[in-house]
Amino acid sequence: MIINHNMSALNTYRQLTVNNSNNSKSLEKLSSGLRINRAGDDAAGLAISEKMRGQIRGLDQASRNAQDSISLIQTAEGALNETHSILQRMRELAVQASNDTNSTTDRSEIQKEINQLTDEIDRIANTTEFNTQKLLDGSKEGLRDAIKGSVTTQLNTQASVTISNASTAAEAGSNITQTGTIVITRVKDSTAIAATDFTVGDPNGLNVSAADITGAALSALAAAGGTFAIGGDGLDALKVGESITISFIKYEAAVTDAATSLSMQIGANSGQNILIGINDMKAESLGVRSSTGDALKVSSYENATAAVTSINNAIELVSAERSKLGAVQNRLEHTINNLGTSSENLTAAESRIRDVDMAKEMMNFQKNNILSQAAQAMLAQANQQPQGVLQLLR
């Protein structure tokens, strides 16, 4: 018998320590409701769970973003509803003014109301905003229509150069710059006479059209052209009977878009957004005010009937814009439903990894609790074993 090391007590104590530790972990899991409270509980599970939590919170925020976007669209569409009502009243007045039973005074009074209604269209367009952002003043148009075609460069009255498949530039405040190099070669001896760099385009970016990167049809106006003066000294002058070949050895086109679209973040990750452009809904853009600021005239039968046509076109523009906004709103509503479903499914997956099974963990707790109590009792018995040595000393 030995007394310096009570191996039975040491073994029992070790088991008691393990049982107490397991008991503490079970208590922690039961009190928090989580299977993973620290990385040591499940390192891989923690990493996966945290990634899922990021996605879940992103999906929930994206859903709120979509709801805010719907609020913005409803604000714009509500304002356009009033613009529609104004245009309908203006059309009614224009039809009334078209009747020659009206005197000059009558038409003058009708003109006063049309002027006021036109001003109200501008006021609505200039003041409708959501969270301080103007919606109908044309600042959120984005890229407008575009075309893709060819560029023809007229060098002089005898020669021209055509480049096919060239993009024309972007409308709505964009600049287009086309650059390249022209090489002129005499056919007689194939000697290059001169090389001239050129730049063409409309530097003001007004009434210039473009094609977007995807090639989707977006208005189709021609970019302003440019001319090139090509000269040479007397020794290289073109002689009778000779001809020259003019070719581009480099051609580039660049578009700088200054317009701004509304970007709606409707996903949990970067790049998961949609762009919404809201066209200019001011009276001039709708065609019911001239560029000089005058409203439609109804002072005569001819003017009044022309005004009816212009107002019809304006009504169609507003209808198209409202239809577009309504379509986007319906899309966002489906987006919200999809985001909710995705968040729900991902939350369920994260729960299976992170949350504790209360029934199973309670079973483990009861087991560890019984083992701890048994270990305590056995430790008391093991501590009594060295007492037998005293019997040998009597």
Label residue 41 by pLDDT band (50, 70, 90). confident
pLDDT value at residue 341: 96
Quote the tokens at residue 65: 């973003």
Q: 181 vs 266, which has greater pLDDT?
A: 266
pLDDT value at residue 261: 82
Of the spans 37-51, 132-146, 169-183, which averages the highest pLDDT? 37-51
Quote the tokens at residue 107: 């038409």
pLDDT value at residue 180: 55
pLDDT value at residue 4: 76
For residue 374, with 0-12 CB atoms within 10 Å meaning exposed, 13-18 middle and 19 or more buried, which class applies?
middle
With beta carbons less than 8 A apart as the criterion, state whether 198 and 180 touch.
yes
For residue 266, the tally of other CB atoms under 10 A from its CB is: 20
Indicate the average pLDDT of the chain.
Answer: 78
pLDDT value at residue 215: 38
Label residue 394 by pLDDT band (50, 70, 90). low
User: Does pTM top 0.95 for this prediction?
Assistant: no
pLDDT digits (tens, 9 = 90+) for 240-250: 555 555 554 44
Label residue 259 by pLDDT band (50, 70, 90). low
Write out the H or E segment, with its range, that includes residue 7. helix 7-32
pLDDT value at residue 1: 62
pLDDT value at residue 238: 52
Q: Determine the CATH number of domain 58-141+263-345.
A: 1.20.1330.10
**Rounded percentage of the chain residues whose pLDDT exceeds 70:** 69
pLDDT value at residue 289: 93
- Whether the per-residue pLDDT at 8 is higher than 90: the answer is no
- Whether the per-residue pLDDT at 43 is higher than 90: the answer is yes
Q: Where are the beta strands (DSSP E) in 16-144?
A: 129-130, 133-134
- Whether the per-residue pLDDT at 127 is higher than 50: the answer is yes
pLDDT value at residue 359: 92
- Whether the per-residue pLDDT at 117 is higher than 70: the answer is yes
Of the spans 37-51, 173-187, 200-214, 244-258, which averages the highest pLDDT? 37-51
Residue 195, C-beta contacts closer than 8 angstroms, at least 6 positions apart: 181, 182, 183, 184
- Whether the per-residue pLDDT at 159 is higher than 80: the answer is no
pLDDT value at residue 97: 95
pLDDT digits (tens, 9 = 90+) for 212-223: 333 333 333 444
Domain ranges in the chain? 1-33+358-394, 58-141+263-345, 148-259
Q: Say how far apart CA 160 and CA 250 lie, in whole Å.
A: 16
pLDDT digits (tens, 9 = 90+) for 225-234: 444 454 554 4
pLDDT value at residue 52: 96
